[in-house]
Amino acid sequence: MKFTLAIAAWLISLSASALEAASPFQVNQPVIPQALADQAILLRERALIDNLPVQLVESITTEVGPRRIGTAGNQRAIAWAIAKFEQLGFDRVWTEEVPFDYGWVRGEASAEVLAPYPHDLVVTALGYSVGTDGDLDGEIIEFPTFEDLLAVPEGDSLAGKIVFISFSMADYEPPPGASAMSGYGEGTKARTKGHVEAAKRGAEAIIIRSVGTDNNRIGHTGSGYNYEDDVKKIPAAAISAPDAILLQNMLQRGLPVTVRLNLTSELTGPIAGANVIGEITGRQNPDEYLVLGAHLDSWDQGTGAIDDGAGVASMMATAAMIGRMEQRPRRSIRVILFDGEEIGLVGAAAYAKRNENEIDKYLLGAEVDAGGGRAHTLVSGVGAESLPVVEEMYKLVAPLGIAWDGRNDAKGASDMSKLSEAGMPALNLLQNSNNYFDYHHTPNDTFDKIIPQDMRYLTAAYVTLFFLAAELDVDFRH
Amino acid sequence: MKFTLAIAAWLISLSASALEAASPFQVNQPVIPQALADQAILLRERALIDNLPVQLVESITTEVGPRRIGTAGNQRAIAWAIAKFEQLGFDRVWTEEVPFDYGWVRGEASAEVLAPYPHDLVVTALGYSVGTDGDLDGEIIEFPTFEDLLAVPEGDSLAGKIVFISFSMADYEPPPGASAMSGYGEGTKARTKGHVEAAKRGAEAIIIRSVGTDNNRIGHTGSGYNYEDDVKKIPAAAISAPDAILLQNMLQRGLPVTVRLNLTSELTGPIAGANVIGEITGRQNPDEYLVLGAHLDSWDQGTGAIDDGAGVASMMATAAMIGRMEQRPRRSIRVILFDGEEIGLVGAAAYAKRNENEIDKYLLGAEVDAGGGRAHTLVSGVGAESLPVVEEMYKLVAPLGIAWDGRNDAKGASDMSKLSEAGMPALNLLQNSNNYFDYHHTPNDTFDKIIPQDMRYLTAAYVTLFFLAAELDVDFRH
């Protein structure tokens, strides 16, 4: 029965379209003109077999590699981005400086168990940790969660100790209704604030189980400058998941466990990076902007393939593919590659401040900062009047396996949150994780983790949506 | 129909057994007395819920850790094994020295790409590599396989170069009929002989893609003292799989790729370890031996959980569980924990030589050196007359999900190959890999990779088989 109805609907739609337009493929689209929908479909299908996003992520990971703000790699990344935007035919390419008051030298990190059983541990300094000034030896005191540390009264009860927060993201069970990834948020509490809270209780240092979902002898780094003025700065490091389990197995024997930590990390004075912006300038309404974001910087252990080479590549490729069409889109499309995301959205904040007077002309923004996985769901945060348009746009990406549930409460993701706060409407594609938190902030974040077909699917979805948004005479603002 | 026949067969077997013995559970077993089969079944079921093998692997990985022959960890492992055998109630516990002419200090290893794009590489020295005597810089020359290197005529055509063998075990497709794991054998050609063949062609050093199946920024070590007297000793190291791919991506650009290698490894003079042997002495035929082998040493990057803590633990637990029964088994069961397996079956060779006059009394031998995965297939290498007995023994482990195809050409595995060469019959359980070659010879070989239920299943199978072999008056020899 369903089949019969479907055929009937199709025949009706065919006969209706025959009256309205020349296209033999027309379907009932009240908002999107058929010729435009046809163009979007062809663009989408071309993107599915265009390897440009994969080539771009291969290029930045191979030719640039790690690119933390304040490092030589970051400067190489800025030069790479400028050159790529130019090669890809963007109409305008420029940089905007991203200054930050504090720099950081990672240095070397080592840790070992001294007693009861000697063992080397795999450890990585957390971002902006101070060094240990030589070997720092102390008994470790385990806290299963950050909240368990907070439950200790401030004072000096942890004097001479090393706090060990053993929270495992991999074993975390989200409460009903919470996202499967909410364990990341739980884990980052200790990563960003643990050293301050441990210091307030007299501890000499803090080690945390790496915030991740893997079982590798590899540490997950992270965090920016999160000190409080009147709290002593103590060293903070992440040990690998297997080493955290080893410490727990020792502690279960009821014996004191003493660890030696040695970090040669150092805080330094001011640094600067740059946001790099490339624009495909609109043919008709050049001062109406659609903005595509990703972050140019990465952590410094891997080559930043999934975080956020995949975002840089898919967003550059999205605009470049639209820019390859016969004519420029009606509106301008701007790709903003933010610097300093990893140390706390520093580049995004600088961009939002510097451009605060024009953000009301940003009709729609999206960011990719979740790896190169396929999109599974479209969510929006647009003015209520334009939601039916988003639904029609959605229908043209639905064949890519993307769902839509009408949710319209999305905010800008990652860097774009700063522009979202300034009023920018958001259109986000939620992505398959492709084991994102196995690799995130580790030496394992390398090009081989990119799944080429997935990156093409992701880019095809953005190309379709932003081509349509650039051509339609629709205001997506609230 | 099948169902009806099965019920009929069961009824026949029941009535037959009622005439023969008191056990209400008797089945048609021409070789194994019913009372003995019942004991074996109860022992098997008890082993399935006995966590002893898991506790033992946790103990050796936590309390000892890395234990390469010639290191302090190896001495701790020897002391651990003696103490455990005694705690577990073995009747005799002793050590036999394992001397070796060459020792090795791992030292530090680093590698970086100097040009065309600066990158740090993750590298590990291969066992017994010489050091680089400071920074060793050279252009890398890629050879897809070891055979491609051999195709270069001996001489000095690779003078000043670093050989790079990019063979990928993960991507290897075995030829028809070959085992899925034959890629490991292919990979180890370059690991064990690459440095000699590269030196014969004038190269300064060799780097290989790690022999493994993972995608981690972790190097797989391996290899013993494999030098040829009149060939220059050159440094040999393994880079991680993602770094091998990075180098290949650079080479695809047609640019020379220069790498700096720095290994502080050193060869030293003679070392010694020890085989540790524990015996449950037979009550009736104490000079008929069943031998259970595993290797006590490990590589030095991880804690040797799967290689070969799992073997040590399952074999110790197998004999200990038989030793906990009301009376000693009829024959003796000897657990031999070999030292120096990783550098070339050195302990096994020493054992075979020292005990050459008694190996003809070894009626059956098995070794676990493939991780803690469940057994999937039983294979034997016994005298043809005893094969029907093995088939009956097999029926009592079949409920553990183990297959049997009557193959009777098995040789002793790993260390046991040395005793097999001296005539010892073999009974091997082939195991599920549980991603063995993801972790093998890496820092990732840690306790968290052990799957407790699998270790209990594996041990239950060995307990059942060796209890039966110890009680049956059957000669398994050829």
Of B413, B411, B415, B293, nearest to B343 (Cα)?
B415
| Tokens found for residue B323 | 């030793």
Neighbouring residues of A364: CB distance < 8 A, sequence distance ≥ 6 = A290, A291, A382, A424, A425, A426, A427, A466, A469, A476
Q: How far apart are CA A49 and CA B260, in angstroms?
A: 38
Q: Using CA coordinates, name the residue in chain B closest to A59.
A: B249
Neighbouring residues of A137: CB distance < 8 A, sequence distance ≥ 6 = A114, A258, A259, A260, A261
In this prediction, residue A30 carries a pLDDT of 60
Q: Using CA coordinates, name the residue in chain A closest to B63.
A: A117
How much of chain A, in percent, has pLDDT values that exceed 70? 94
In this prediction, residue A7 carries a pLDDT of 42
Q: Check whether B15 has a pLDDT greater than 50.
A: no
Residue identified by tokens 């006059």 is B357
Q: pLDDT band for position B30 (50/70/90)?
A: low
Nearest to A448 among B64, B119, B242 (CB): B242
Residue of B446, B450, B451 to mutate, testing the A interface (most A Cβ within 10 Å of its Cβ): B446
In this prediction, residue B2 carries a pLDDT of 42
Sort residue A181 into left (φ over 0), alpha (ψ -120 to 50) or beta: alpha
B446 to chain A: which residues are within 8 Å by CB?
A: 217, 242-243, 245-246
How much of chain B, in percent, has pLDDT values that exceed 70? 94
Q: pLDDT tens digit string along B141-188?
A: 999 999 999 999 999 999 999 999 999 999 999 998 888 778 999 999
A280–chain B nearest CA distance, Å: 29
Our CA dihedral for B432, B435, B441, B446, rounded to 10 degrees, sits at -100
Q: pLDDT tens digit string along A347-406?
A: 999 999 999 999 999 999 999 999 999 999 999 999 999 999 999 999 999 999 999 989
Residues B57-76: what's their mean pLDDT? 98
Residues B58-83: what's their mean pLDDT? 98
Q: How far apart are CA B34 and CA B30, in angstroms?
A: 9
Residues A127-142: what's their mean pLDDT? 98
Q: pLDDT tens digit string along B284-319?
A: 999 999 999 999 999 999 999 999 999 999 999 999
Q: pLDDT tens digit string along A70-125?
A: 999 999 999 999 999 999 999 999 999 999 999 999 999 999 999 999 999 999 99
Of A350, A353, A323, A349, nearest to A335 (Cα)?
A323
What ipTM was assigned to the predicted interfaces of this complex? 0.91
Stated as kind and residue range, the H or E segment containing A381 is: strand A375-381
Residues of B within an 8 Å Cβ radius of A? 58, 61-65, 117-119, 122, 215-218, 241-243, 245-246, 249-250, 302-303, 442-444, 446-449
Q: pLDDT tens digit string along B84-107?
A: 999 999 999 999 999 999 999 999
In this prediction, residue B218 carries a pLDDT of 98
Q: How far apart are CA A237 and CA A470, in angstroms?
A: 46
Residue of A446, A449, A451 to mutate, testing the B interface (most B Cβ within 10 Å of its Cβ): A446
Neighbouring residues of A94: CB distance < 8 A, sequence distance ≥ 6 = A276, A277
A63 to chain B: which residues are within 8 Å by CB?
A: 117
Q: Check whether A27 has a pLDDT greater than 80.
A: no
Q: pLDDT band for position A5 (50/70/90)?
A: very low
Of A191, A86, A100, nearest to A146 (Cα)?
A191
- Edge to edge, the sheet with strand A123-125 lists A119-121, A109-115, A258-263, A136-143, A161-165, A205-209, A236-239, A123-125
CB A329 within 8 A of CB A282: yes
Q: Check whether B34 has a pLDDT greater than 70.
A: yes
Neighbouring residues of B459: CB distance < 8 A, sequence distance ≥ 6 = B47, B50, B52, B53, B314, B317, B318, B321
Residues shown for chain B: 478
Q: Do B446 and A246 touch (CB under 8 A)?
A: yes
Residues A176-191: what's their mean pLDDT? 90
What's the Cα-to-Cα distance from B4 to each of B1, B13, B16, B128, rounded to whole Å? Answer: 5, 14, 18, 65
Q: Do B217 and A449 touch (CB under 8 A)?
A: no
Kindly report the number of other CB atoms within 10 A of residue B169's CB atom. Answer: 22
One-letter identity of residue B397: V
Of A120, A222, A187, A177, nearest to A441 (Cα)?
A222
Q: What is the pTM of this model?
A: 0.92
A246–chain B nearest CA distance, Å: 6
Q: Do A242 and B62 touch (CB under 8 A)?
A: no
CB A317 within 8 A of CB A48: no
Q: How far apart are CA B369 and CA A38, in angstroms?
A: 61
Of A4, A39, A72, nearest to A324 (Cα)?
A39
